[in-house]
Structure 1
Amino acid sequence: MDETVKPLRIPPQISVYADKHNILHLVQSMLSSLVIDQPEDPITYLISLLQRSTFDSPRVVLLGPPAVGKHTVAKKLSSELRAVHVTLQSLLSDQSELSTQTQNTEQELPAELLVRLIQQRLNQIDCFNRGWVLEGIPQSRLQALSLQQAGVIPEHVVMLEAPDDVLLERTRGKLVDPLTGDVYHQNFIWPDDDAVAERLETDQSRIERQRLADLQHYRREVTGLSSAYQHVLKVINSDQPHTDVYQQVLSFIRTRSYCRTPRILLLGPPGSGKSHQARLLSEKYKMVDVCCGQLLRSVAADGSDLGQEIQPYLDDGRPVPDSLVLKVLDERLSRVDCSCRGWILHGFPRDLQQAKSLQQTQIQPNRFHLVTRPAPSSEVQNRLKTRPEDSAHTLTHTLSQYRTHTAALQSVYPAGVHIDADQDPRSVFETLESLLTAH
């Protein structure tokens, strides 16, 4: 190795700090807002963003067919999140000149008019500071795309669903509180307050034929709406108790797509498939695959001073001292490719002391996975032999050591997620992938 040319290194503390304070997400959000809003005074605009009481103000779209329960969920959601509840009715009841121009339009507004109404409302200070919940808007793919082009981009889109026969049954029993506008149902949702129950009225806003037409219109548009929001969409079955529906919606809304550079630690016994899963993840997500054993052999072969210290241990089949391993890992994981693309480390740590030493170097993973698949028999252990050190005796000893240290390692990485690797490798990968991409 040419000692005069040293790879650029980025201290690992930077990534740890960025994760802790969501710096990457903050920068991404601010840049996105700048590009979308294009303010005349960018500095003042960014300062106002940072001065929000909550920077991650909710931006939610709640969709679904008539009588699916949108209004009830949206009203409760906006109350709990302290966000502004925006409906088509509230937009049209506004006293602004623009809303007055739309009073005589049909239910589905022209996309251009709808966009102008929504922009006017969401630009008001309450929506800017507290966030918003759009109920039943947009109503078509054209409206959705027009809103996106105008910079109205939700972070979460919930689509409530139920069979048509259930929806039609709900419309027949729909009741409305004339004072609050809250929606109830004589069979499904009944108010706890007797005073409210006494003043409920039958919903006269739509005749039966119109309700059926509204449902048919939604069914024609639902595929286009889904495709417009596919990356932020969750479909929830509303044909279940209202409390369960709401909790599923709330759980989804509270997830955040934080931008984080993945730093993955794969732990598991010999033969559990760590190397194979690391390779699959590396190939798909372009992360750096860091196998500790291969890395040590590579450094030993490069002729560097550190490599010359490591070589005798490899020649004799002795464990490389932790101090040397940590030097190698610190150098490799702080290179630009690992800092920018992320990394997957496997083969280290193997015991409690190694795990604690790794933490002290500021090399801190943000994803932990314990791949559990011990070799079920000596025949399988013999089959796993690919190098001289992979004898059945060595594997049995290594497996025993792993079992001894497993509990201690779990105490260091309590957030570790267990995956049963005693299944097809592709199934293991799909499980692993779903956990890594979860919010």
Structure 2
Amino acid sequence: MDDTLRPLRIPPQISVYADKHNVCHLVQSMVTALVLEQPEDPVSYLLDFLQRSSPRCPRVMLLGPPAVGKRTLANRLSATLEAVHVSAERVLQGQSEQEGSAEVLVQLLQRRLKEKDCLHRGWVLEGFPQTRLQVLQLQQAGIIPEHVVMLEAPEEVLLERSRGKLIDPITSDVYHQIFVRPDDDTVALRLERGRGLSDQQLLAELQHYRCEVTALRSAYQHVLKVVNGDQPPADVYLEALTFVRSHCHFRTPRILLLGPPGSGKSQLARLVAEKYKVVDVSCGRLLRSVAADGSGRGAEIQPYLDDGRPVPDSLLLPVLEDRLSRVDCSCRGWILHGFPHDLQQAAVLQESQYQPNRVFFLEATDEACLERISLRATDPVSGQRYHAVTRPAPGLEVQNRLQTAPEDGTEPVTQRLKVFRMRSAALQSVYPDAVYIDADQNPYSMLEALESRLYTS
């Protein structure tokens, strides 16, 4: 093969070092700061930046319609993260109405977020920005969040919360006469009815928010988590905290999916790859690709595929190692499924330079797996896979030409499930920190469960 056509490979030690020392996050933070601040002396600026900035300082925005619970959530998050709770209301204290314009507010926020406590502890910014213009002003001022939590709730819920709002006059904490009561009786006795918006005022502000929410979502789509605010405050808090604690370490994702056949590994891997731009590495698909490329190694692999026999590790491992060493996997990360199948393969993977940094076990019953596999078939014309229950063929013509693979029959699937159950305990022992996901739910719920643990430390 012409050397210019060989896939570029990066030594795996580089990725391991970058993960260990959080290099990606460090470089991203420095480049972002340089572009936004544009200092005259970049070298001196970066030296000062490295000395004064903590790479783990949270930068969180909480957005949402009025009365959705932003302040309550901001109080809890800032206390847990030991970050500074910043709001437009607090920043504007002491300012006259004429001095409280949007431009002045952005200037005050910029000044506040560059104070020592915010630089060293991080910040939680509540309820701002509210418009696309304010987003632009914040970006121009260099105020860039790492996480944006957007709360949502139905109109009737917001109205009910606004009507029952209670305020602690000492701490300014917000409660509700029915839904959110303080644990301390002393606090409960001193609560006062909040001077909130009338129903008409709240509906007007809600209409304004709806006009702007699409722009807000678009501006922060890459760092956004939408949370249902119509649930107990403790659940809202835990969901937001899980998200905010993600991306603490900007590791290159090396994700391993394990689970019984039919648990949905391939579909989940596809969704993760599409959203996070990691490389979807299916061991079975990889072997078929190598077998079809006409190489000497492919010729050795083909007979095993033809007979339905497992490809020996002596042939499989070099193929997998070759794929994981390519530049796309090294730079973007990967999600691997279809390997390992047993304890020996898992041990080899762990001892290599390609050990995963996130492992997920998909859990599903044999009955559910059997139904998923035995009722699926493939269209030989388009290559699309359909399922008699969850994804039926779009028409009679396609239905009539569908083909079911021999290995998807009831007896072969039952045998494969039996083998997996025999080996699963050994695999679990190799990955004691693995995350378990209920695979008896729709793929997007599985994706959300995976995402919540993808970047957490």
Give the letter aligned to residue 115 of structure 1.
Answer: V
| Alpha-carbon separation, structure 2, partners of 1:343 and 1:334 | 11
| Alpha-carbon separation, structure 2, partners of 1:178 and 1:272 | 53
| Alpha-carbon separation, structure 2, partners of 1:283 and 1:78 | 33
Matched, 1:385 2:385: no
SS in 2 for 1:229: helix
Deviates more, 1:275-284 or 1:146-155: 275-284
1:171-250 paired onto structure 2 within 5 Å: 171=162, 173-193=164-184, 196=187, 199-203=190-194, 212-230=200-218, 231=221, 232-250=223-241
Matched, 1:39 2:60: no
Tell me what 1:409 maps to: 427
In the TM superposition, what whole-angstrom CA distance separates every residue of 1:219-254 from its partner, at most 9, and x where no partner exists?
312341353135244444545544444344333333
1:17-96 paired onto structure 2 within 5 Å: 17-52=17-52, 54-93=54-93
Tell me what 2:352 maps to: 361
Structure 1 residues 345, 37: closer, same or farther in 2, change over 3 A?
same
Q: CA shift at 1:356, angstroms? A: 0.7
Structure 1 residues 121, 420: closer, same or farther in 2, change over 3 A?
closer
CA-based RMSD of the aligned residues comes to: 4.4
Give the letter aligned to residue 19 of structure 2.
Answer: D
Contact 1:351-1:409 within 8 A present in 2 as well = yes
Matched, 1:15 2:25: no
Contact 2:269-2:280 within 8 A present in 1 as well = no
Contact 1:83-1:133 within 8 A present in 2 as well = yes
In the TM superposition, what whole-angstrom CA distance separates every residue of 1:301-338 from its partner, at most 9, and x where no partner exists?
424xx678878988998765424432332233212233
TM-score norm. by structure 2 comes to: 0.72
Give the letter aligned to residue 341 of structure 2.
Answer: R
| Alpha-carbon separation, structure 2, partners of 1:49 and 1:236 | 33
Structure 1 residues 416, 69: closer, same or farther in 2, change over 3 A?
closer
Q: CA shift at 1:406, angstroms? A: 2.7
Contact 2:256-2:335 within 8 A present in 1 as well = yes
Give the letter aligned to residue 328 of structure 1.
Answer: V
| Alpha-carbon separation, structure 2, partners of 1:395 and 1:164 | 49
Tell me what 2:400 maps to: none
Matched, 1:294 2:317: no
Contact 2:287-2:319 within 8 A present in 1 as well = no
Structure 1 residues 339, 183: closer, same or farther in 2, change over 3 A?
closer
TM-score norm. by structure 1 comes to: 0.74
Structure 1 residues 314, 294: closer, same or farther in 2, change over 3 A?
closer
Q: CA shift at 1:353, angstroms? A: 0.9
2:128 to 132, 137, 140: 137
In the TM superposition, what whole-angstrom CA distance separates every residue of 1:250-292 from its partner, at most 9, and x where no partner exists?
3333333764444344445667776677677767847254535
| Alpha-carbon separation, structure 2, partners of 1:168 and 1:374 | 45
| Alpha-carbon separation, structure 2, partners of 1:279 and 1:73 | 34
Structure 1 residues 162, 434: closer, same or farther in 2, change over 3 A?
closer
Matched, 1:348 2:339: yes
Identity of aligned residues (%): 55
For structure 1, the residue ranges without an aligned partner over 5 or more in a row are: none
Tell me what 1:146 maps to: 137
| Alpha-carbon separation, structure 1, partners of 2:163 and 2:409 | 73
Q: CA shift at 1:130, angstroms? A: 1.3
SS in 1 for 2:56: coil
Structure 1 residues 66, 18: closer, same or farther in 2, change over 3 A?
same
Structure 1 residues 2, 391: closer, same or farther in 2, change over 3 A?
farther
| Alpha-carbon separation, structure 2, partners of 1:240 and 1:20 | 38
Matched, 1:329 2:320: yes
Contact 1:287-1:342 within 8 A present in 2 as well = yes
Deviates more, 1:30-39 or 1:60-69: 60-69
SS in 1 for 2:406: coil
Tell me what 1:104 maps to: 97
| Alpha-carbon separation, structure 2, partners of 1:322 and 1:125 | 56
Structure 1 residues 145, 401: closer, same or farther in 2, change over 3 A?
same
Deviates more, 1:369-378 or 1:250-259: 369-378
2:108 to 93, 117, 138: 117
Q: CA shift at 1:216, angstroms? A: 1.4
